[in-house]
Structure 1
Amino acid sequence: MIGWYAHHHGRGHVHRALALAAHLAGAGEQVTVLSSTPRPADAPPGTVAWVELPRDDDGLDGGLDGGLGGRPVGGSGGGSGAGPVDPTAHGHLHWVPRHHDGLRERTAAVSAWIAEHRPRAMVVDVSQEVALLARLHGVPVVSTVLPGDRTDAAHALGLGVSDALVGFWPAGAGLARLPAGVSDRLTEVGALSRFDPHRPAAAARAAGGPRRATLLGGRGGDAWTSDEVERLTAALGDAWELTVLGSGGAWVDDPWTALSGADVVLTHAGQNALAEVASARRPAVVVPAERPHDEQRSTGRALAGGGWPVRVLDRLDHPDWPALLDEVAALDGGAWARWCDGRAGERFGEVLGVVLAGRLTGASAGTARPVPVGAVG
């Protein structure tokens, strides 16, 4: 049994869990996802079990890398209307408010699940507190790492107790700053998309018709305002046909047609969004959103300086949108193959295999021989 903690913020963490858990299950590994997010309707039946955890943030969305649930922007410590009390444990953790019923209940739920199922390993995406909790139960931990500055005390603790670290970006991209002493545990596996990069693209636009642009939003908050979207739409006129997905537009569970059929995609710099743009091999305008630990800004800087088929903007604002999109459309979307080559899942499986071998033999994760757990690309 493999336990998999998936953060509730946005949909990227759950998408990643489902994409990998289904393949691991096909290779004979039982996977249980533990998350505040309810089991999605599109979760493959029979391939992954699901434990819905109580919220520890009073239902308020918080920062991407909170604690057991998320760092809220307000709310009570237990329903009284007062603010959270010492949520960082004197600066050592991200989100552990004192006397919070939800925190106590979800922590107990994770512990009870570990005690009952005795998992061979726990994948944590992302929570330093869950990584620490699992390790305190003697369970080997594989922690995902997000881009940005991860050198704070909570990351030093959570990443420090993890047996292996995984970054879903290309090797050498330099997206994260890590605490001292853990860099040798990091494996950069490349971006992971739900979509096969070799999947046929949508039908091309009719000859002489307007070019297509897709604005890809998400559920975790975007880098633009509704006024900026309105100005973009007006500026494009009849030269470009704009499809707006996510906040402020239509929500579709499968955006492949809108992505692969676009001449240009405009997106924030979240890992899941970029992975899906890359798998579609579409050039992009990237607008990093403000996130804790400089996550998306770090990604934007790496994209701007790495020869990728993008133009990075600070805001969804430009004096000549048609000219900019024409310029971006001329970039080679095939260069995204270095970002998302379809083998991230396979590489992740190799990392997990090393950790499982250490669990079975008593060897350290760094020296254990990998145990095949299936090709998960």
Structure 2
Amino acid sequence: MRLGYYAHHHGSGHCRQIDKLAALLPVDAKRQLIVFTSLSLDDYAFSCLDEQQIIRLQAEDECADDVLKGRAGEHWQPASLHYSPVGNSNIQKRSHQILDTIYQHHIDLMIIDVSVEVAMLCRAASIPYLYIRLPGIRDDTPHLNAFAGALALLAPYPRLLEATMTPEWVGKKTLYLDFINTAQQKELTYREFIEILAKLNTSNLKDWEEDTSTIITVIKGYGGHEAIDMKLPELRRLLPSAFIISLGPINDNMRCHVDIAAQVNDVTPFIQHSDYLLMACGLNAVAQVYDYATPLVVLPDDRPHQEQEVMAQALIDQERALSWQQFKTLLSHKQTHTNPNGLSANKAQTKSTSKSSNVNRNKDCLTAAQEFMDSTAEYPTTKAWFEKWLLPKLELNPDY
């Protein structure tokens, strides 16, 4: 089958998701994959796909000459759509781009990540599609219609982290791909990690063989970091002797609360060797840290449909993460029973050798995603794939 993939333009996570999935495809199938996105090349350059495979779509912003706004009043807005301006020339052009490309490239199956409007466009044009299900509360009419119109739903996270309020039929129609991590980063020793810190900050070097400071890494993305930055002064007050590292964007007036503020290409050593990780709950970020044993403190960003709040609560319920309040309570308890840095007596001894924390990494974490991508390359037609692979996998039988 020939695949098409629609990647939403908000943040870079949607494009990054198909980049990871594309890496799992055989070479011939990968070359036939087409990605649709209105994200520019400057905002995201694909690593597994050639630029000629990317259809850079027109933006869908409202225009001054629209006949109706994108979110019109009652009786002027279809209940099946979130956003649908009327007379918008850009949306007319992008709709033509999508449909014409699907026809010209003989795309058999679309994967939509995420857009109710593109899903409805495909369904109305009789184009089979799968819909990516992100975490959060998505029980509104447009989402439920998009889910119902899909051949199946794809969840790029483990079934264990499914929200309890998810409708039963939605869960049954979902393929859980688990977290997808295709990059094989070399894991560094503790000494090599300290060498990285020394290069990032030569003005505040420590004797790490003797020092017992708690190392805290705060990981932030470009989808929004102000809320996490606002926690930095309190974090410094809670742990005045800790070595605090901020990775990603940071407000200038918050730099004084951290020891290192930097941008890095690989966060793996920081995940592996920190005592605590503080971060929001974006899907790609959680996927990176989930299989490590390093304690995780979640500070979810405000997102539509409570996407990050629901993911954060699922991680807390699975005892894989702490809330900010739980973290503060834990620190208070540790500082009462241990040394002032909040470390156990043998922590310094552990640090001097290695602090590898990925003892719980799942070696088969790619199995579900790999099986899914292999299946799309195995069957010549969508109908054969749907009837012989997908429906038996879901244990479903549509009511014709």
The answer to whether the Cα contact below 8 Å between 2:135 and 2:163 also exists between their aligned partners in 1 is: yes
Moved more, 162-171 or 94-103: 94-103
The yes-or-no answer on 1:200 pairing with 2:204 is: no
Q: Which runs of 5+ in 2 are unaligned?
A: 195-207, 252-260, 336-340, 395-400
| 1:86 alignment partner, one of 72, 75, 84 | 72
* TM alignment of 1:162-241, pairs within 5 A: 162-175=150-163, 177-178=165-166, 181-196=169-184, 199-201=186-188, 203-205=192-194, 206-209=208-211, 210-222=213-225, 224=227, 226-233=229-236, 235-241=238-244
Instruction: Decide which structure has greater strand share.
Output: 1
Q: Which runs of 5+ in 1 are unaligned?
A: 58-76, 371-377
| SS at 1:293 equivalent | helix
Distance in 2 (CA, whole Å) between partners of 1:230 and 1:296 is 23
Distance in 2 (CA, whole Å) between partners of 1:127 and 1:110 is 13
Against the structure 1 CA distance between its residues 290 and 351, is the aligned structure 2 distance closer, same or farther, given a 3 Å change threshold? Answer: farther
The answer to whether the Cα contact below 8 Å between 1:192 and 1:344 also exists between their aligned partners in 2 is: no
| 2:318 alignment partner, one of 302, 306, 310 | 306
Residue by residue over 1:247-286, the C-alpha shift from the partner in whole angstroms, topping out at 9 and shown as x without a partner, is 5454444333333342321111111110011255532111
* TM alignment of 1:255-334, pairs within 5 A: 255-308=267-320, 310-313=321-324, 326=342, 334=358
| SS at 1:348 equivalent | helix
| SS at 2:23 equivalent | helix
The answer to whether the Cα contact below 8 Å between 1:164 and 1:186 also exists between their aligned partners in 2 is: yes
The answer to whether the Cα contact below 8 Å between 2:271 and 2:292 also exists between their aligned partners in 1 is: yes
Distance in 2 (CA, whole Å) between partners of 1:183 and 1:354 is 25
* TM alignment of 1:16-31, pairs within 5 A: 16-26=17-27, 28-29=29-30, 30-31=32-33
* 2:4 counterpart residue number: 3
| SS at 2:271 equivalent | helix
* 1:36 counterpart residue number: 38
Against the structure 1 CA distance between its residues 192 and 326, is the aligned structure 2 distance closer, same or farther, given a 3 Å change threshold? Answer: farther
* Larger of the two Rg values belongs to structure: 2
The answer to whether the Cα contact below 8 Å between 1:146 and 1:176 also exists between their aligned partners in 2 is: no
Distance in 2 (CA, whole Å) between partners of 1:314 and 1:161 is 41
Computed over aligned residues only, the root mean square deviation of the Cα atoms, in angstroms, reads 3.8
Against the structure 1 CA distance between its residues 176 and 147, is the aligned structure 2 distance closer, same or farther, given a 3 Å change threshold? Answer: farther
Distance in 1 (CA, whole Å) between partners of 2:333 and 2:376 is 46
The answer to whether the Cα contact below 8 Å between 2:8 and 2:14 also exists between their aligned partners in 1 is: yes
Partner letter of residue 258 of structure 1?
A: F
| SS at 1:142 equivalent | strand
Normalising by structure 2, what TM-score? Answer: 0.73
Deviation at 1:190, TM superposition (A): 0.9
Deviation at 1:236, TM superposition (A): 3.2
The answer to whether the Cα contact below 8 Å between 1:11 and 1:218 also exists between their aligned partners in 2 is: no
Deviation at 1:135, TM superposition (A): 2.9
Higher relative contact order (CA 8 A, sep 6+): 2
* TM alignment of 1:83-122, pairs within 5 A: 84-86=70-72, 89-122=77-110
The total of aligned residue pairs comes to 349
Partner letter of residue 156 of structure 2?
A: F
The yes-or-no answer on 1:345 pairing with 2:347 is: no
Against the structure 1 CA distance between its residues 193 and 312, is the aligned structure 2 distance closer, same or farther, given a 3 Å change threshold? Answer: farther
| SS at 1:4 equivalent | strand
Distance in 2 (CA, whole Å) between partners of 1:252 and 1:113 is 37
The answer to whether the Cα contact below 8 Å between 1:268 and 1:287 also exists between their aligned partners in 2 is: yes
